[in-house]
Chain A
């Protein structure tokens, strides 16, 4: 246990987690659109960056084993203390928490759920600070009237290829929440990625 095991969680557990949940829900409903969260809703002394810490306390519990990427593994005790979160190998994890795109495990080995319970797939929460994407990437699908350009976050063409395959196995598949500075955006499995928007794009 590190000293930070016992650092405080959410200040107002009910209201803060509601606000954070609302942001995550909105982000998954309106793919690739960033939703901001005010800092006073988020744990500031946690062993994770405030946004990741708040999201983890809101979404994870003892029923959702999590894999933490190397730079964040020191938060395991803190997550166990507050929410009873158990550590898991990537393939068995309900949540993947990664400090950056380079720290992600191979996405192919994560659980996409099964036909009977597709909701039991893994959700990837990854820190994506502002960085140039290799190429402009557009998301389309439910929640998007027209293709939307993904926020610049350093996504590679390999990621786009993976996501195309991920989308193709719908209703199975991963969902992704990207933490981007003071807010978050998301890609649900229903979102399709393409390097250039189709004709109807404006």
Chain B
């Protein structure tokens, strides 16, 4: 039961002032700038964009600053501002095959066309705190930037390095299930109420904006036996892709920008046998920004959620689409969990008087206080 309670206006105003002062911190320390957050805390910005389901690096950096680094609060801020912008339309499908690659590795092929490209990764670092980062120092150099060398050589042609999708080898031999293009319009969970059973289009959209921690735990649970997905990583790739739209009045595809994405394709247990030709099955992860932990988790959970499609026994929460899809959104989750801190004065009075009357009955029935 909800009863409107008035009052506290002045306290709220002061709480906001206090929050702003806390956000700013010690005034003797320079204020952090949006560009610093975007450039030096880029993984936080990427996470906020993915979970807010809005690719807007500058606004996401602003949200991180305003939320004092509370990333779920930052996601909330970005989602709220998203609601005020009109939607102009839909893009053409991204093609990760045409990605300008920053990193691509395969866990199944050692020598694949294009090779293993590590890119900027934490993987081989020793996870030792680097005390030197606490000091101000010269900007870090990229591998090819030698001091004194002219950095702006343009060149006449683009250096192309061909990195075809690792999955091609398996799909050419027919060893992995096919993924044929179909022209069907996908459903959009920001426009349609969620309905079960949900198609894979809705599930992937839901997972792409899901809370990273929630997906990570689900993926882990599936690998450990609450479910049965423990895949091979055919390929994990990070890079930028062009986003294109076809404005109705132009009638030809037009690039509107470039975005960074992380994509993960997994190879999973066989399907088939009997009359069906056995083949590997696929899991797919695609997220905004540099975020391979989430892309991997998404690919695992995507495959786990396909259990019904392959007639597999449902053994764990990662395979249960209602459980996954209804609890994956951290803004919904935070709202519902956190609402209990708000006034429930009347509900509680009701519970209290109920308990008192139970106590009274207990006393009259011969029960005694301790």
A residues near B (Cβ < 8 Å) are 1, 5-6, 61-63, 77, 80-81, 84, 86
Contact = CB atoms under 8 A, between A and B. Distances in A.
A193 B88 CA distance: 38
A32 to B, nearest CB: 31
Nearest to A62: B89
Contacts of B248: 77, 80-81, 84, 86
A62 B249 contact: no
B149 interface: no
Interface in B234-262: 247-249
Contacts of B191: 63
Contacts of B7: none
A77 B249 contact: yes
A80 B87 CA distance: 14
Nearest to A117: B193
8 contacts: A1-B249, A6-B249, A61-B86, A63-B191, A77-B248, A80-B249, A81-B247, A84-B248
A81 B89 contact: no
Going nearest first, the 6 A-B pairs with the smallest beta carbon separation are A80-B248, A81-B249, A84-B89, A62-B89, A5-B249, A80-B249
Interface residues of B, number: 8
Interface string B69-102: 0000000000000000011110000000000000
The secondary-structure label for the interface of chain A is loop
B174 to A, nearest CB: 39
The secondary-structure label for the interface of chain B is loop
Contacts of B86: 61
Nearest to B248: A80
Point out which of A6, A63, A84 has the most chain B C-beta atoms below 10 A from its C-beta. Answer: A84
Contacts of B87: 61-63
Given A77-B249, A84-B88, A84-B248, 18 more contacts: A1-B249, A5-B249, A6-B249, A61-B86, A61-B87, A62-B87, A62-B88, A62-B89, A63-B87, A63-B191, A77-B248, A80-B248, A80-B249, A81-B247, A81-B248, A81-B249, A84-B89, A86-B248
Contacts of A5: 249
B113 to A, nearest CB: 40
Contacts of A77: 248-249
Point out which of B89, B247, B248, B249 has the most chain A C-beta atoms below 10 A from its C-beta. Answer: B248
A74 to B, nearest CB: 14
Nearest to B192: A117
A80 B251 CA distance: 11
Nearest to A6: B249
A5 to B, nearest CB: 6
Nearest to B247: A81
A121 to B, nearest CB: 17
Contacts of B249: 1, 5-6, 77, 80-81
A49 to B, nearest CB: 21
A57 to B, nearest CB: 11
A77 B191 CA distance: 25
A11 B69 CA distance: 40
B92 to A, nearest CB: 15
A144 B249 CA distance: 44
Nearest to A78: B249
B250 to A, nearest CB: 9
Contacts of B88: 62, 84
Interface string B165-188: 000000000000000000000000
A20 to B, nearest CB: 15
Contacts of B89: 62, 84
A6 B88 CA distance: 17
Nearest to A80: B248
A47 B248 CA distance: 17
Nearest to A84: B89
Contacts of A63: 87, 191
A86 B86 CA distance: 16
A2 B87 CA distance: 25
Contacts of A1: 249
A63 B188 CA distance: 12
A5 B247 CA distance: 13
A81 B251 CA distance: 11
Nearest to B86: A61
A123 to B, nearest CB: 18
Contacts of A62: 87-89
B5 to A, nearest CB: 31
A62 B245 CA distance: 13
Interface in B6-22: none
